[in-house]
Amino acid sequence: MSFMLAALLQLISPLIAESPAPAPAAEKVNTAIVPAERLKIDGWKKRHEAILKKLDPATEIVFLGDSITQGWEGAGKQVFADSFAPWKTLNQGISGDRTEHLLWRFANGELEGLKPKLAILMIGTNNTGHNQQPAAETAAGIEKILADFHAKCPGAKVLLCSILPRSAKPEDKKRILNDEINKLISAFPSKMDFVTYKDMNALFLDKDGVLTKEIMPDLVHPKEKGYKIWADALVPEIKKLLP
What positions carry a catalytic annotation?
67, 218, 221
Within 10 angstroms of residue 68's Cβ, the number of other Cβ atoms is: 26
- How far is it, in rounded angstroms, from Cα 103 to Cα 146? 10
- How far is it, in rounded angstroms, from Cα 208 to Cα 5? 75
Give the CA radius of gyration of the chain.
24
Q: List C-alpha distances in Å: 117 to 65, 109, 151, 153.
A: 17, 18, 14, 9
- How far is it, in rounded angstroms, from Cα 146 to Cα 195? 8
